[in-house]
Structure 1
Amino acid sequence: MTDDSSALPAAFFPPSGPPAFTRADFGPDFHWGAAAAAYQTEGAWQLQGKGPSIWDDFTRRRGAVRRGEHGRVATDFYHRHATDLDLAQAMGLTDFRFSVAWPRVLPSGTGPVNRRGLDFYDRLVDACLERDLRPWLTVYHWDLPSALQAQGGWANRSVVGWLADYAQVLARRLGDRVQHWMVLNEPMVFVGAGHLLGVHAPGRRHLGAFLAAAHHATLAQAEGGRALRAALPAAVRIGTTFSCSYLTPHRPGNARDEAATRRADALLNRFFVEPALGLGYPVAELPALRWLLERYYKPGDDQRLAFDFDFWGVQNYTREVVRFSPWLPLQWATLVPAKQRGVPHTDMGWEVYPESICQMLKQYSAYSNAPQLFVTESGSAFPDVKTDGGVPDAQRRAYLQAALGQVLRARREGVDVAGYFAWTLTDNFEWAEGYGPRFGLVHVDYETQARTVKDSGLWYRDFLRGAPAGASGAAAQRQAAGGAAD
């Protein structure tokens, strides 16, 4: 086989070198996709009856987003979705994951439906099916309607019912064609970054708001699942997604760092998973959660938190190294940045550590009643420079190759993982980081909206056509094809 992996960064691969495998090694029923999110791609922020979201509000704050950028146009997916889905089809993807913008469908968060907004998602689903792309719908990917934030947002327990009602609106319109549904995207990120750290919308920094929002999101995760199950055909599969990182102590064998790692794992990796399984919150490892139980728990919440999901979406980008910290009373732990540790890292500052995917798949599958798993986000941001009509991105290609090798390793070790979704199809608005980090398999010129398939996207296409994982030829393919897809 043709293999130019010797030119790729050695840090992406284990000591034995890059993995050798083909698509066939994953089996005929494995799902191959890419993922996207409404606020990060759609634009059209005030068109056809759409209401404002907390991210529309947050991006107006001075200093909230790098360079003062926003998602009002983003990648103009609202108008260019056919072009982007054509690229996904040409790449050989079998599945496409997207989210619905809550305020596009319900401008006030509740009440009358904006038919023009719902019609867009109707067309989007049909466009996926016309290209043999199975649509995967995420109900909530961080864009809460501003009208609901004015009533307390996720810190208001009423959000549980608001989300359930919204989910049923979507199910009644799209449930005849969408077979895979996800309730929430990464709840620990939107409640933690948005309500404790203040670096994401709605920009709050308050422990009480965080605990309230976290509990209500856990309830909404389950209640949203029940609402979908009540409204959808029995064959439809319902899941949700979790952010996660493989955690290791900064000083292995140090009692304080080891204990801090267990507490961080309870907060970052287990907080939303175990209540869904009927196990409750991991209070034994994280005693600070007793504040949540005392202030926000109501009789019957133990039962309300649980829901029998058909699958979980595992979303992993890196590992984190943990050390004890006396200054963070929630978990008494801090994460040691990759730059500080002197290890290879991406543009996001995340360590290059693909083995984290395998470790987290194994951790989640170890629960006795765990459902089937899918990797619903996995990717990397590196600098991209257009050259000779294309975008050579050897680091991203190597990351993708190594990540898939770790997913295959998990499957071979008995984990029921049935799909992989690259983050993301096209470059997009990366939240508080703005348009700097690029995760896409497709490059977007934000001034012209021109699309160019990167070498990583060409590699993914060739791999899905049956080429071995180590094979490349991407630059030659790009030159032969002319590179750009506008």
Structure 2
Amino acid sequence: MTRSFPKDFLWGVAASAFQTEGAVNKDGRGQSVWDVYAHTPGRTTNGETADIACDHYHRYPEDIGLMSGLGVGAYRLSTAWPRIFPEGSGQVNQRGLDFYDRVIDLLLHEGIEPWICLHHWDMPVAVEEKGGWRSRETPKIFADYAATIARHFGDRVKRFAPINEPNVIPWVAYNVGRHAPGKQSYEDSLKAIHALNLAHGYSVKAVRAEASDAQVGNIVSLGPVRPHYDDAAHEEARILGDCLWRRVTVDPLWLGTYPEPIAKEMEPLILGDDMADISQEMDFFGLNHYNPVFVGPNKNTTFGIAETAPPTGMGPLTDVNWVVDPQAFLEQIRDTSERYNKPTIYITENGASYPDALGPDRKVIDKDRIAYFEGYLNVLLDALEEGHDIRGYFAWSLMDNFEWGRGFSKRFGLVYVDYPTLQRIPKASYHWLSDVIRKNAL
């Protein structure tokens, strides 16, 4: 049976600057915290760095051609903060703006709408050295950066989001210490939570001041949080994990409050009109979803809890050991609609990593990824039938790229990147999704 998506449903792909662009020392770009982290021995798989990545900086016309061939109507990119402000603030790097001018103008020429995420984790080192997300000054600096981007691109870009997955930064970078800047500090985790929320609120206001006709929303990675084992200690971990993973960087934005059980801990950080500044009215809710999150007690982390491997027998699993569970996707959509008063939702990331192999015929037949997309898109149709206001879907990702601490060992792309040659090879899933987009139906 054919199932159709709404007539005006928006199809897109997403990628980020640091994971794809490379050219880290090109045209005046400054260093980011991830440049430093990736070059620190032991931090990434095989010591791999994003110095070249996919070389999107030089190959963007080919990549936009691949988007056009896929048939998408939108591309969610991030602008690299250190490419625009090499020192984090102060003097604008015109050559950085020029690069994104070229990308955006070509996207528009191809009929693809650019969506800009202002920050996908690549904070300038100069800002980190002044306190980074541990400082209340950083949100002000970030708002100035947001204003610069909106002022320059707002005549052509009409959808903005401040920060990609702000919930991931305190959880992974400060609780577990596995992302840049790779710290473990309870006090700093709390400061980062509040500074990220302030940066969101300040930058929403800054974008609206510079591009009054633009839409602004959040982008957050959410999935149901579940205990690894069915006992009291794991249930306690689940409650705290649900607060830290799903609520602490969403409730303040949409509800104007910090959630239990961490609300009391956040009180000393809240000054003056902070919560009003944070909870700006938004035009859409950008929901990234991959999997349910399993948690348990962990004495080696800041908060005493951490994500665990899925319980035995949960399968099937992706190549990064995430459970394939489309019903968890539906559960998360329902929760988002109910808790945040039925916002307009865009699925701003969804996808899966599998151990793709380039065959002797130079083809990649990724049947597991096709099955993943089919399962999750069918659930998205279920959610639409339930009446949830979902306007679009962005697959993660257009192409294989630098997968943070995992380096190049994991592949999420619709397009295979042969890293020694940087050749792009559309996978079977690329052609499958292109057919879905063309028909606007499963």
Q: TM-score, normalised by structure 2?
A: 0.95
Q: Secondary structure at the match of 1:419?
A: strand
For residue 402 of structure 2, what is the aligned residue in structure 1?
Answer: 429
The answer (yes or no) to whether the contact 2:185–2:302 under 8 Å persists in 1 is: no
Q: Which letter does structure 2 place at the counterpart of 1:269?
A: R
User: Are residue 400 (structure 1) and residue 373 (structure 2) matched?
Assistant: yes
**8 Å Cα contact 2:175-2:301 kept in structure 1:** no
Q: CA RMSD in A?
A: 1.8
- Residue from 324, 327, 330 that aligns with 1:355: 327
CA displacement at 1:56 relative to structure 2:
0.8
How many pairs were matched up?
441
Checking the alignment, whether the CA contact within 8 Å between 1:313 and 1:373 is kept in structure 2 is yes
Q: Distance in 1 between the 2:82 and 2:56 partners?
A: 16
- Say whether residues 1:112 and 2:91 are aligned partners: yes
Once the two structures are TM-superposed, the CA of residue 414 in structure 1 deviates from its matched residue by 1.2
Separation (CA, whole Å) in 2 of partners of 1:357 and 1:326: 26
Q: CA deviation at 1:197?
A: 1.5
**Per the alignment, in what secondary structure is the counterpart of residue 318 of structure 1?**
coil
Secondary structure at 1:192 match in 2: helix
Q: Which residue of 1 aligns with 2:248?
A: 271
SS in 1 for 2:245: helix
Q: Residues 233 and 204 of structure 1: is their aligned pair in 2 closer, same or farther, counting only changes over 3 Å?
A: same
1:318 aligns with 2:318: no
Task: Give 1:162's aligned residue.
Answer: 141
Measured in 2, the distance between the counterparts of 1:293 and 1:110 equals 29
Higher mean Cα deviation, 331-340 or 455-464?
331-340
* CA distance, structure 1, for counterparts of residue 302 and residue 85 of structure 2: 35
- Partner of residue 292, structure 1: 266
Alignment of 1:247-396 (within 5 A): 247-250=225-228, 257-283=234-260, 286-287=261-262, 289-294=263-268, 296-323=269-296, 325=297, 327=299, 333-338=305-310, 340-341=312-313, 343-367=315-339, 369-387=341-359, 388-396=361-369
- Residue 243 (structure 1) shift: 1.0
Structure 1 position 461 matched with structure 2 position 438: no
- 2: distance between equivalents of 1:60 and 1:331? 27
1:12-161 equivalent positions in 2, closer than 5 A = 20-22=1-3, 25-161=4-140
Q: Give the drift of 1:351.
A: 0.9
For residues 141 and 220 of structure 1, the distance between their equivalents in structure 2, rounded to whole angstroms, comes to 13
Partners of 1:448 and 1:238 in 2: CA distance: 38
Higher mean alpha-carbon deviation, 203-212 vs 340-349, is at 340-349
Aligned residue type for 1:57: V
Residue 61 of structure 1 aligns with an amino acid whose one-letter code is T
Shift of 1:246: 1.4
Cα distance between partner residues in 2 of 1:122 and 1:214:
32
2:120 is matched by which residue type in structure 1?
H
1:370 positional shift: 4.4
Residue aligned with 1:304, SS: helix
TM-superposed CA distance for 1:278, in Å, is 3.5
Distance 1:449 1:262, change over 3 A: same
| Closer/same/farther in 2, CA of residues 370 and 331 from structure 1, 3 Å limit | farther
Instruction: Report the structure number with the largest CA radius of gyration.
Output: 1
Aligned to 1:12: none
Q: Which amino acid aligns with 1:292?
A: M
**Shift of residue 427 of structure 1?**
0.3
**Is contact 1:98–1:136 with CA below 8 Å preserved after alignment?**
yes
Distance 1:450-1:55 versus aligned 2 partners, 3 A rule: same
Q: Residue 167 of structure 1 contacts residue 224 of structure 1 at CA under 8 Å; is this kept in 2?
A: yes
Q: How much has 1:367 moved relative to structure 2?
A: 2.7
1:176, CA displacement in angstroms? Answer: 0.5
Which of 211, 227, 241 is the matching residue for 2:219? Answer: 241
User: 1:290 deviation in Å?
Assistant: 2.3
Stretch of structure 1 that moved more, 243-252 or 149-158: 243-252
TM-superposed deviation, 1:114: 0.5
C-alpha deviations, 1:427-451, integer Å up to 9, x for none?
0000000000000000000110101
Q: Work out whether residues 260 and 331 of structure 1, in 8 Å CA contact, stay in contact via their aligned partners in 2.
A: no
Residues 439-458 of structure 1 mapped to structure 2, 5 A cutoff: 439-458=412-431
Of the structure 1 ranges 196-205 and 448-457, higher mean CA displacement relative to structure 2 is found in 196-205
Aligned-pair distance for 1:266?
A: 1.6
Change (3 A) 1:174 1:317: same
* Structure 2 residue runs without a partner (length 5+): none
1:298, distance to aligned residue in structure 2 (A): 1.4
Counterpart Cα distance in 2 of 1:397 and 1:92? 17
Counterpart of 1:75 in 2: which secondary structure? coil
Letter in 1 for 2:388: V
* Counterpart in the other structure of 1:16: none
Structure 1 position 149, deviation (Å): 0.8
Task: Please give the TM-score of this superposition, normalised by the length of structure 1.
Answer: 0.87
| Contact 2:84/2:97 (8 A) holds in 1 | yes
Residue type of the alignment partner of 1:397: I
Q: Are 2:350 and 2:395, in contact at CA under 8 Å, matched by a contact in 1?
A: yes
Taking structure 1 as reference, are residues 467 and 34 closer, same or farther at Cα in structure 2, changes over 3 Å only? closer
The 5 A counterparts of 1:190-209 are 190-209=169-188
Q: Which residue of 2 aligns with 1:4?
A: none
Instruction: Answer whether contact 1:426 1:443 (CA < 8 A) is retained.
Output: yes
Go from structure 1 to structure 2 and tell me whether the alpha carbon gap of 1:330 and 1:62 turns closer, same or farther (over 3 Å shift): closer
8 Å CA contact 1:196, 1:209 repeated in 2: no
Find the residue that maps to 1:452 and give its secondary structure. strand
Shift of 1:326: 7.5
Could you report, residue by residue, the CA deviation over 1:336-365 in whole angstroms, capped at 9, with x for unpaired residues? Answer: 412645522111111111222211111111
